Chain A
Amino acid sequence: MPHSNKSYGWTGKILLIDLCTQKYEVIRPEENIYKSFLGGRGLCSYYMREIKNLMPSEIPLLFFPGALTGTKIPFAVKTIISSISPLTKTFFTSAVGGFFGWHLKKAGWDGIIITGKSQNQIGLTVKDENVSFFDCNDLKNKKASDIFHKLKPEGSAAITSIAADNGVAFSNIIIDKYFFAGRGGLGLVMANKGLKAIEVYGSCDIAVHDSENLSKGIEDSMRLVSASPSLMGELGFTEFGTSALYDLIFSRNIMPAKNFASRSFPDAEHLNAWNFKNKYPWEKTGCPNCPILCKRISSEGLLPEYNSMAHFSSLIDNRDIDIVMEANRLCNETGMDTISAASAIACYRELKDKDHSIDIIQLLKEIAFASGEGKLLIKGSSEFSKKLSSPESSMNVKGLDLPAFDPRGAYGFSLAYATSTRGGCYLQAYPLSHEILRKPIATDRFSFEGKARITKLNEDMNAAMDSLGLCRFSVNAFGLEECAKLLNAVTGEDFTAGDLMNCGERIFYNERIINYTLGFDSKDDDLPERFFESENAINRDDFLKARANYYLIRGLSPEGKPLETKTRELKLKWLE
């Protein structure tokens, strides 16, 4: 049975919860807010600015499914979780799969905004229209699988685990056991609010305006998905998950080794996807309605995805496949971001463990429980390296540890890392698609020519995709042209690809404004010195020229600051 309100696709309601009073209100956004910010990431940035204007000291936690999440559209599964990151101190969004957004939309909500703080550890239940709270004091320092076993959610659940309980700045929010809202430490934000778990269950269908055109749009999109070798090829994500990237990235000389000191890892061929498949026979799993099913599960737990494989092997100079598997399992159970956990270890090895005598697994446990040597690393590699007066040993941008793509092997990554509103992240500009996977076309990975505009356009496109709730993998197959058709079929609106691009530009710029109010500008849009000084270094002048071009194209000042004219052109509020 569809929702009874007049909107198609969107439910027209947002849940505003105050944990201090355990009371809630319903926000009913005006239509133009949906049309301007779409959903997911767009609505997160919109409401973050609204709340920060009203309550500057509040650090809200937001859960927003995309505008298409909850429909039968493949890849339309994502929920964006957002706050101010305790790791980077930037505005932060994390896109997560699983069933959470699905259920939230089906329960009749376009999002949840959580403010305030509970004195005790509590859980929140959203079951259709009903909202209630439950006691969670007995879940402290329990591993994730035990918490899910105890909760047995009727629909979907988001929880935090041991790392968040102990103040780890890169702790995750875990959805439905296998899906992680990672990177920025949003788990710690949730833990700091005294909120241990959110259960959500929805029983209604999302109202669709034109089912026939929706089916046609899905058919067109799926034709492109089938034709994408990286997604549906027999060596692509559908067969190996993102671990399929391991051989490719290594062979292109892009996989970092020894804390980015090198790109040489002689044992790579023994730790590739094929070897993991033989050692840990797996079954596929993933998000609802997904044609790819990118997750791999074995009797010993979830298999590592590409970044975890590369960082727990090459980055930390570990040649033992079992340690990679166990490190990944441990991070998942304790709720630690694998990239930042591995980066902390790599930094630790560079500064305090040059002979590699420390037990990696033991150190990871100590980080999760904030004990022993691990206590030094709970704020991340950036804080750790600063304490040891060696900030150059932390390979991060804006405090966010870099993933397993060395920008010296693909220059688009350098701009992506520098300009992402999250910090050292490639997912917003996603140069992986054009510099590595050759979609929609291949670009020269050793050139900055044209990259400023490509970076800006991809950031806009992906901001729109994130706001629609589409998985990043979808851009390896289709674009906003197909998305507009799907969105129009669901909502009955008349978006074009160009309209969605405009929304994406507005959303990204809004995030840039938030970060500016938090003190970020061009001094922070930079890379670690190591990339400009080592063998095969990036030419710093070329990088700075490309970044200056980017600022010009993005409509920022030469110092990377938002401009009033551009802000008003994008129909955003200028700074108070």
Chain B
Amino acid sequence: MAGVKEKYLQKLISQRLCNSTDPLVGFLDADLQWNRESDKTEILSQVVNSLGVSAIIYSIPREPYKSMIKYLASYEEKDFLKPEDTETRTFLHDIPIAQNLNVGELTQKLKKRKGLVLKDGSVIAQGAIGVEQAFVTFSSICFSLFVKFMCDFYYHRKNLMKMEGEVEEIAKKAIKCYEDHLLPFDKMPQSPYPFEKEDDAIAAIIEAGSLTVESGLVDSFFGNISCLFENTIYISQTGSSLDELEGYIDPCPIDNSKTNAITASSEFSTHRAIYLKKKFNAILHGHPKFSVIYSMLCDKINCPNRGKCHISCSDRRFMKDVPIVTGEVGRGKNTLLQTVPEYISGRGVIVFGHGVFTAGGSGFYEIFRNLLEIEKEALWAYKDLVF
């Protein structure tokens, strides 16, 4: 299990969530082991023991997350932050704020939630059954608070809310950090299309998934990917990492005559509905930050649907030519199964507070390019709105 600890330490670094010397990763099997020595491990060990969990990650995140989280935690009057993106609404609920590294306070707050932030901008995430769980929570907190900061900053610039202090500098620095990685990225999927055999389809999925993470469009767990080949949908498994898909792709007959897709992505139904409704053969879904942020910006402060925009917004909204639609994750009432297959066309569709779906009929090159372009355009559109 030391391997798992090291693996997620490296992911924290490679996905630009933390600087290499900062994270403390603790894993408890029979004994509690840390990735390095620190004067903080004694306190964190007591927290782990009190919680009875398997893993904990503590770190100051890398910029721009550090400044954004520190700012949000410092100015928030309540003892928790409540971003309104899908990630928070579905999995985190809210994000507690702790004053400092105090065993009692940390334990009390982590008994209620999967992770928290401290006033100094650091993040603590726990994993009940493993380091991977703590990593996903750490990554989700960084993502959600990036989105919240940028949304708040928009409303600040529109004089719809008041943010004090060095907020503009933080926003500019965050955008620059993001641009510096995303804009120069010029790798594109090279897998041949059309696919001749099953292995070609699977190899193309693995390549496109990996590029989606490498480009900085998404962190590894935020998205799913599929293609249709000879009446079988090949789709990433639920909870799989887009940059580690080898062995984690489920073949699912499109007529549902086998039920293997029970472990496929929670968006399998949406993927299948798209294939049945439109002449596409590949779908890429990710949660790129500025597409998510842009989808959540709305000046109708007194709208009766405020707070329920993700399911109740009645406006027809677009980011350029790309529709912005409503819908919760999964199946059932008010889910994106009812909206995405209906509205996806052209370059793709943005789901409110959630992410982007792109779909096409000629493999992954086109749809990866579209995802990249939509995100860049959302970033530029955001900049036009706030600067």
Query: Do A226 and B52 form a contact, CB below 8 Å, given A441-B130, A450-B29, A454-B129?
Result: no
Question: A458–B54 Cα gap in the complex (Å)?
Answer: 11
Judged by a CB distance under 8 angstroms, whether A227 is at the interface is: yes
Q: List CB contacts (< 8 Å) of A452-481 with chain B.
A: 452-454, 457-458, 460-461, 479, 481
B260 touches A228 (CB 8 A): no
Contact call B1/A229, Cβ cutoff below 8 A? no
B266/A229 in contact, CB under 8 A = yes
On whether the beta carbons of B257 and A274 are closer than 8 Å, the reply is yes
Distance in angstroms between the alpha carbons of A479 and B112 in the assembled complex: 11
Complexed CA–CA distance, A437 and B268 (Å): 14
Q: Which of chain A's residues have a CB closer than 8 A to the CB of B101?
A: none
Contact between A229 and B130 (Cβ–Cβ < 8 Å)?
no
**Known: A248-B259, A274-B257, A457-B54. Is A234-B239 also a contact (CB below 8 A)?**
no
Report Cα–Cα, A498/B128, bound state, in Å: 11
Give the residue among B4, B262, B264 with the most A Cβ atoms within 10 A: B262
B331 surroundings in chain A (CB, below 8 A): 226, 232-234
Cα separation A437 to B237 with both chains bound (whole Å):
9
Name the A residues within 8 Å of B90 (CB-CB). 223-224, 227
State the CA gap A450–B51 with chains docked (Å): 17
A224 to B330, CA, bound (A): 9
B129–A438 CB distance below 8 A:
no
A-contact bits for B253-269, CB 8 A (1 contact / 0 none): 00011111111111011
Counting CB contacts under 8 A, is B219 at the interface? no
Count chain A CB atoms within 10 A of each CB in B29, B90, B136 and give the residue with the most.
Answer: B29
A442 to chain B: closest residue by CB: B239
- Contact A229:B261 (CB < 8 A) given known A438-B237, A505-B52: yes
Known: A233-B266, A440-B129, A442-B239. Is A223-B259 also a contact (CB below 8 A)?
no
A244 to B52, CA, bound (A): 33
From B331, which residue of chain A is reached at the shortest CB distance? A232
Q: What range describes how many residues of B lie at the interface?
A: 35 or more
Q: Verify B29–A226 contact, CB threshold 8 A.
A: no
Contact: A233 with B29, CB < 8 Å?
no
- The tally of residues in A whose CB lies under 8 Å from a CB in B reads 58
How would residues 388 to 426 of chain A score, 1 for a CB under 8 Å from any chain B CB and 0 otherwise?
000000000000000000000000000000000000000
Contact B252 A228 (CB under 8 A): no
Q: Is A321 an interface residue (CB 8 A)?
A: no
Pick the contact of A227 from B1, B112, B248, B266 — CB < 8 Å? B266
B233-255, CB < 8 A from A: 237-240, 248, 252
- Which residues of the other chain, A, contact B332 by a CB distance below 8 angstroms? 226, 232, 291
Q: Residue A553 at the B interface, CB < 8 A?
A: yes
Q: Is A443 among interface residues, defined by CB-CB distance under 8 A?
A: yes
In the complex, whether A501 has a CB less than 8 A from a CB of chain B is: yes
**Is B113 in the interface zone, CB < 8 Å from A?**
yes
Residues of chain A within 8 A (CB-CB) of B261 are 229, 233-235
In the bound complex, do residue B262 and residue A453 qualify as a contact, i.e. CB atoms below 8 Å apart?
Answer: no
Q: Cβ of A272 < 8 Å from any Cβ of B?
A: yes
A269 touches B258 (CB 8 A): yes
Residues of B within 8 A of A461 (CB): 128
B258 touches A498 (CB 8 A): no
A452–B133 CA distance with the chains assembled, in angstroms: 17
6 additional contacts (CB under 8 A) given A226-B332, A457-B128? A224-B91, A244-B262, A441-B127, A441-B130, A450-B129, A553-B29
Seen from chain A, the residues whose Cβ lies within 8 Å of a Cβ on chain B are: 220, 223-230, 232-236, 240, 243-248, 251, 269, 272-274, 291, 434, 436-443, 449-450, 452-454, 457-458, 460-461, 479, 481, 484, 496-499, 501-502, 505, 549, 552-553
In the assembled complex, 9 residue pairs joining A and B whose CB atoms fall closer than 8 Å, in A order, are A227-B329, A229-B262, A229-B265, A234-B256, A240-B259, A247-B258, A438-B263, A453-B129, A496-B111
